[in-house]
Amino acid sequence: MRVSANALQPPIHTWAEQRPQTVTSASALVGQQRALQALQQALTVAGRYAHAYLVTPAGMRVQDVMHELAPRFPWQHADRYDWVYLANPHSANEPCCVNLPVGSAANFVQQLWMFLQTPTEQRAELQQALLGDSPSARLQNYLAEIADKQFADLPGNELATVIVEHEQVPAILLCDRVTEASLFGSIRLQSVEGTISSDLHLIQPGDLLRANGGVLAIDAEELLLQPGLWRKLKYILKTSLFHWPAPGDNLNVAAYYQPEPVPIHIKVLLLGERDIFAQLREIDRDFDNLFPYLADFSEHYSLTQQPLSDYFDYLAYVIGEANVLPLHQLAYPALFKFASRLSDYQSELSLDTIALMQLLREASALAVQQHSHEIQGEHIDQVLLHRKQRDGYIAELSRRAILEHQVYIATDGAVIGQVNGLTVITAGGTEFGEPSRITATVHYGDGDIIDIDRKSELSGNIHTKGVMILSAYIANLFARNEAMSLSATIVFEQSYHEVDGDSASLAELCCLLSALAEAPVQQGLAITGAVDQFGAVQAIGAVNEKIEGHFALCAARGLTGNQGVIMPAANLSQLNLDDPIVAAVAAGQYHIYAVSHVTEALELLTQVEQKDLFERIEARLEELHRSDREQSWWQRWWR
């Protein structure tokens, strides 16, 4: 099936025409219904075993997402307090922790100082003020302990230190730079006249205590990179109690100072990649119990499941955060094409905030240089062209080697047993597509298909599997009743690195069938696709890059109107090609064909009908079988 120019790109102009006149609200959470539903469930459940893991894509701005989540889904079981450590009347090294109503810690410390300075018989009114409207059991016990004491009766030189004041803590506290001190806090040491000790003001809380009573989001990768932190966090979540580490643990200093443990009532959100989630489930049997909720944030916005209008709310958020010039109406098609290319599907748009912000900032800077008050479509196109020029040096070197005939790739004529496959090259941190010559030869033998790349240990496991599958297809067609008396060899020519993946198996199969049928293959056509044992063509990756690599070579040599690419029909929904390719296809100078079976590809490559091709192969095999049967036993033995 020949693919029309209209099918080579998503309907970007149609999308742009649907832009509303005004955007109702800018939001970073557009398209995240699945994840939001999971978070809503997690934040309505209390208990030690109800935490959540958030799968966060690389391009997401986690800070923005947490900021927007907080008012939308408040933790319904929040039990916030200010926490203060007070001098213990019975031990200078074991200060007491007391919880107070939110926002009252600083005032409480001042009142407590006044309380201790007041004669015992005049403290009744001050004590009532200290207790307030909702005194905690800890506070009542502490005031009872110091009811008849002055400050001079307390050990040490300090009365109190405020550990947590919740008026200064966001509803969801993000800990994205995880160390033992930043997460759990620390107790510092001081040296006074040669004596090493600690004191109240040296107690430094971490984010776990700051978020106590609320929600704490932790970067999972950072957490797991620090030895011992995961086990310590897990113990705290299981016991709901935070014990301070001994001061100087990492300094080989023995100093006894042990503040009273702090009760923990918290909701933890771990943020990270799906691989980390899978590893934690596999290596830690407690993980599933502690983190039963999975909030899976999507990288793509599906237009088949959600209205396009919501995506404009997301773009409004991106544009606002990027702080760029406004977009002209005609700039939206270029932006949509970029967003669709990032997602790899025509019906999906990317939610990669950072990538979109980078594009818009470059385009805005270009617009400012050209004295424009808006970002135009040509500004975005110029930015993408500049990127291609920046990243295309290695691709140009590789293409130049072909143009100078150092690497032989034919783009016209017809050759038996030679096909241009399409590959993606990864080199120097860049990826690009280019054709690769595949050749096959056949000879008298026992039906084996020899993969030279595998024999020379240049074939990956997936490529080897692909060759085995195409061997099974040929055997199923031509060797059901008796073994073939024909063997073949196949190889990627001028390839000196490992070949992997099965996306060349369709090209290899067509190359073998061409050699068997002695049917020349059109060299202007390149081909990509995987096959199964029945010859059905299956989808492959990087289809756009592969087509663009072949087109660039053909364009450099001059388009003849006989060049093009054969691709799997299953990849049609992923086409998102550059404008020059679309224009060439529309003008009939370049062709793209979508196939579902190997016979369709073979007919396009050889310009011979499948029936005639297979008859040629069967006639050749029959002639060899007949010759084989006519040989005497000793001739067959010594052959």
Mean pLDDT of 226-241: 93
pLDDT of residue 12: 81
pLDDT of residue 272: 95
210-224, 248-262, 481-495: which is most confident = 210-224
Mean pLDDT of 213-224: 94
User: For 498-591, where are the alpha helices, taking DSSP H only?
Assistant: 505-517, 543-557, 579-586
One-letter amino acid at 461 equals N
Mean pLDDT of 198-224: 92
Percentage of residues of the chain with pLDDT beyond 90: 61
User: For 306-460, where are the alpha helices, taking DSSP H only?
Assistant: 308-322, 332-343, 353-369, 377-391, 393-403, 452-455
pLDDT of residue 483: 67
Place of tokens 């947590």: 164
* Distance separating alpha carbons of residues 162 and 98, to the nearest angstrom: 10
Could you report the per-residue pLDDT of 157-208, keeping only the tens digit for each?
889 999 998 776 788 999 988 999 999 999 888 766 666 777 888 899 999 9
Please answer whether residues 592 and 564 qualify as being in contact, where contact means their C-beta atoms are separated by less than 8 angstroms. yes
Could you report the per-residue pLDDT of 371-392, keeping only the tens digit for each?
999 999 999 999 999 999 999 8
CA torsion angle 393 399 404 410 (round to 10): 180
pLDDT of residue 270: 97
Could you report the per-residue pLDDT of 68-110, keeping only the tens digit for each?
999 888 887 878 899 999 999 998 889 999 999 888 898 999 9
Mean pLDDT of 210-214: 92
Please answer whether residues 32 and 297 qualify as being in contact, where contact means their C-beta atoms are separated by less than 8 angstroms. yes
| Whether residue 273 has pLDDT greater than 90 | yes
Could you report the per-residue pLDDT of 305-350, keeping only the tens digit for each?
998 889 999 999 999 999 999 999 889 999 999 999 999 999 999 9
pLDDT of residue 477: 80
Residue 250 or residue 517, greater confidence: 517
Percentage of residues of the chain with pLDDT beyond 70: 92
Q: 513: phi > 0 → left, psi -120 to 50 → alpha, else beta; which?
A: alpha
Domains detected in the chain = 5-27+300-391 (1.10.8.60), 80-167 (no CATH), 411-623 (3.30.230.10)
pLDDT of residue 632: 47
Q: Band of the pLDDT at 251, cuts 50, 70, 90? A: low
Encoding tokens for residue 25?
């609200």
Sequence-distant contacts of 201-205: CB under 8 A, at least 24 apart: 201/158, 201/161, 202/247, 203/85, 203/95, 203/161, 203/163, 203/244, 203/259, 205/83, 205/163, 205/164
Closest CA to 2 of 597, 619, 594: 594
**Across 29-38, 173-182, 291-300, 500-509, least confident range:** 500-509
Give every CB contact of residue 466 below 8 A, 6+ residues apart in sequence: 501, 502, 504, 505, 508, 530, 531
Q: How far does CA 547 lie from the centroid of its chain?
A: 25
The secondary structure element, H or E, covering residue 463 is: helix 461-478
Mean pLDDT, rounded, of the chain = 88
pLDDT of residue 165: 87
466 CB neighbour count, 10 Å cutoff = 25
HEC states along 27-46?
CCCCCCHHHHHHHHHHHCCC
Give every CB contact of residue 176 below 8 A, 6+ residues apart in sequence: 62, 63, 219, 222, 271
**Across 247-256, 289-298, 629-638, least confident range:** 629-638
| Whether residue 459 has pLDDT greater than 80 | no
Report in angstroms the alpha-carbon separations of 518 from 272, 477, 484, 616.
55, 17, 16, 8
Q: Band of the pLDDT at 13, cuts 50, 70, 90? A: confident
Length of the chain: 639
Please answer whether residues 213 and 80 qualify as being in contact, where contact means their C-beta atoms are separated by less than 8 angstroms. yes
pLDDT of residue 78: 76
* Distance separating alpha carbons of residues 22 and 566, to the nearest angstrom: 44
Q: Band of the pLDDT at 503, cuts 50, 70, 90? A: confident
Hey, which residues are catalytic here?
A: 503, 546
Closest CA to 108 of 88, 79, 131, 81: 131
Residue 390 or residue 133, greater confidence: 390
| Whether residue 635 has pLDDT greater than 60 | no
HEC states along 144-187?
HHCCCCCHHHCCCCCCEEEEECHHHCCCEEEECCCCHHHHHEEE
Report in angstroms the alpha-carbon separations of 246 from 84, 93, 253, 595.
19, 11, 10, 69
pLDDT of residue 49: 92
Maximum distance among all Cα pairs of the chain, rounded to whole angstroms: 126
> What three-state secondary structure class fits 242?
strand
